[in-house]
C-alpha cells in the first residue's frame, strides 16, 4: 500500500512524525509537507508564483506551499505512482465542527479526494501541545489499528474523507471510537483589538474563548467523553434537503 502523508503544521511537526510512525506499519510512506506552518490556510492553492520541492530524505519532500499544493504536487509530479491513500495530520489541535472549513489539514485530505484518492484527516484534540506531546505520542497506539481498519474497509465510501479527532488521553484511557457528525463551535471575542508599536490600531484574529454545542452524536461530545471521533465528510457540499424542498420556489419564476 502506498501512503502519501502531509499536514498543515509543517514538515518538522511532531504530529507528522507520529503519523509517520503509525503509517509505516501499514505501507510505503511518502511525505510531502509544507516547509512551515500553514494552519488555517484551508484549501488555498499557490497560483501566482512557483513552488519548489526540496528533498529531505528518501520519499520525503518539503514544499514552500500550502497543504493543498503539497498533495497536488505529490500526486501529479513527485510520486512515481499514485498513492492508495492520503493521510493528513496529525494536526496540533482539534478539527471539529466549523474548524473543518478553515483547516489546512482537512483541506489536504479534501484535495486527495478531488484527485480521486481516498483520504483521512487526523487531528489531536489536545490544547497546549508542549504539555501534551507525550499524550500525542500515546495516540499512535490508538491511531494505528484505526487506520488499518479504515484502509481495509471493503467499500471505502466514494468521494468521502474520514475526519478523525484523537482525545488528549493516555492510550489506555481512550474509551473507544465513535462515528460522529460535526458539532457547532462558538467563538467569542475572536478579534482582539490592540495597538502596534507606533500606536496604530490593529486586530489579532484567533484568540478568545471557544465553546462547543452539538448533539450527543457530535464530534466534540465524543472527544469530551473520551472517545476517538470519526466524522465522514463528503466532497459534494450540495444540501440535498433544501434542493428537494426548494423545487417549489421556482414554480412561478
Ligand atoms: Mn495545524
For residue range 40-76, what is the model confidence (pLDDT) as tens digits? 999 999 999 999 999 999 999 999 999 999 999 999 9
Inform me whether the pLDDT recorded for 131 exceeds 70: no
Task: Return d(Cα 183, Cα 30) in angstroms, integer.
Answer: 32
- Determine, yes or no, domain membership for 191: no
Q: What is the DSSP string of 40-99?
A: T-TT----SS---EEE-STTEEEESS-HHHHHHHIIIII-SS--SEEEEEEEES---TTH
- Determine, yes or no, domain membership for 81: yes
Cell digits for 182? 460535526
Asked if 180 and 224 touch (Cβ cutoff 8 Å), the reply is no
In 139-183, the DSSP E strands lie at: 160-166, 176-179
Segment (H or E) for 33: strand 28-34
Residue 41 Cα to ligand 1 middle (Å): 9
Inform me whether the pLDDT recorded for 249 exceeds 90: no
Which candidate, 52, 40, 111, 118, places its Cα nearest to that of 83?
Answer: 118
Inform me whether the pLDDT recorded for 7 exceeds 80: yes
- Determine, yes or no, domain membership for 203: no
- Determine, yes or no, domain membership for 114: yes
Average pLDDT over residues 108-130: 92
Task: Return d(Cα 19, Cα 143) in angstroms, integer.
Answer: 8
Query: Count of domains in the chain?
Result: 1
Residue 91 Cα to ligand 1 middle (Å): 5
Confidence of residue 132 (pLDDT cuts 50, 70, 90): low
DSSP3 helix / strand / coil % (the chain, rounded to 5): 30, 30, 40
Domain that holds residue 49: 2-183+215-248
Edge to edge, what strands does the sheet with 176-179 contain? 53-55, 60-63, 28-34, 2-6, 85-92, 119-124, 160-166, 227-234, 176-179
Asked if 93 and 84 touch (Cβ cutoff 8 Å), the reply is no
- Determine, yes or no, domain membership for 101: yes
Residue 105 Cα to ligand 1 middle (Å): 6
pLDDT digits (tens, 9 = 90+) for 22-31: 999 999 999 9
Residue 88 Cα to ligand 1 middle (Å): 10
Residue 253 Cα to ligand 1 middle (Å): 46
Residue 248 Cα to ligand 1 middle (Å): 43
Residue 161 Cα to ligand 1 middle (Å): 18
Residue 77 Cα to ligand 1 middle (Å): 24
Helix (H, G, I), strand (E, B) or coil at 26: coil
In degrees to the nearest 10, what's the CA dihedral of 99, 102, 105, 110?
100
Residue 106 Cα to ligand 1 middle (Å): 10
Rounded to the nearest 5 degrees, what angle is found at the Cα of 222, between the Cα atoms of 220 and 226?
A: 115
Q: What percent of the chain has pLDDT over 90?
A: 83
Cell digits for 12? 518538522
Q: What is the pTM of this model?
A: 0.95
Q: Residue 108 belongs to a domain with what CATH number?
A: 3.40.1210.10
Q: What percent of the chain has pLDDT over 70?
A: 98
- Determine, yes or no, domain membership for 202: no
Residue 28 Cα to ligand 1 middle (Å): 24
- Determine, yes or no, domain membership for 9: yes
Residue 218 Cα to ligand 1 middle (Å): 21
- Determine, yes or no, domain membership for 88: yes
pLDDT digits (tens, 9 = 90+) for 85-117: 999 999 999 999 999 999 999 999 999 999 999
Residue 245 Cα to ligand 1 middle (Å): 38
pLDDT digits (tens, 9 = 90+) for 195-237: 999 999 999 998 788 888 888 999 999 999 999 999 999 999 9
Residue 108 Cα to ligand 1 middle (Å): 11
Render the burial of 198-235: b for 16+ CB within 10 Å, e for the rest: eeeeeeeeeeeeeebebeeebbbbbbeeebbbbbebee
Amino acid at each position: 500500500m502506498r501512503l502519501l502523508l502531509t499536514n498543515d503544521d509543517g514538515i518538522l511537526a511532531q504530529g507528522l512524525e507520529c503519523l509517520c510512525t503509525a503509517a509505516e506499519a501499514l505501507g510505503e510512506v511518502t511525505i510531502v509537507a509544507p516547509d512551515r506552518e500553514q494552519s488555517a490556510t484551508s484549501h488555498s492553492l499557490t497560483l501566482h508564483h512557483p513552488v519548489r520541492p526540496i528533498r529531505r530524505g528518501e520519499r520525503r519532500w518539503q514544499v514552500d506551499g500550502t497543504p493543498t499544493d503539497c498533495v497536488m504536487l505529490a500526486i501529479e509530479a513527485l510520486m512515481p505512482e499514485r498513492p492508495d491513500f492520503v493521510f493528513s495530520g496529525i494536526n496540533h489541535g482539534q478539527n471539529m465542527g466549523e474548524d473543518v472549513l478553515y483547516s489546512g489539514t482537512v483541506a489536504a485530505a479534501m484535495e486527495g479526494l478531488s484527485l480521486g484518492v481516498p483520504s483521512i484527516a487526523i487531528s489531536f484534540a489536545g490544547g497546549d501541545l508542549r504539555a501534551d506531546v507525550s499524550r500525542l505520542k500515546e495516540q499512535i497506539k490508538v491511531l494505528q489499528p484505526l487506520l488499518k481498519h479504515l484502509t481495509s474497509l471493503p467499500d471505502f465510501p466514494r468521494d468521502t474523507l474520514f475526519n478523525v479527532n484523537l482525545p488528549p488521553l493516555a492510550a489506555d484511557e481512550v474509551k473507544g471510537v465513535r462515528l460522529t457528525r460535526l458539532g457547532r463551535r462558538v467563538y467569542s471575542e475572536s478579534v482582539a483589538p490592540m495597538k502596534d508599536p507606533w500606536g496604530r490600531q490593529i486586530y489579532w484574529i484567533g484568540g478568545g474563548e471557544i465553546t462547543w454545542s452539538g448533539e450527543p452524536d457530535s464530534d466534540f461530545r465524543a472527544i469530551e467523553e473520551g472517545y476517538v471521533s470519526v466524522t465522514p465528510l463528503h466532497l459534494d457540499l450540495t444540501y440535498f434537503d433544501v434542493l428537494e424542498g426548494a423545487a417549489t420556489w421556482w414554480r412561478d419564476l
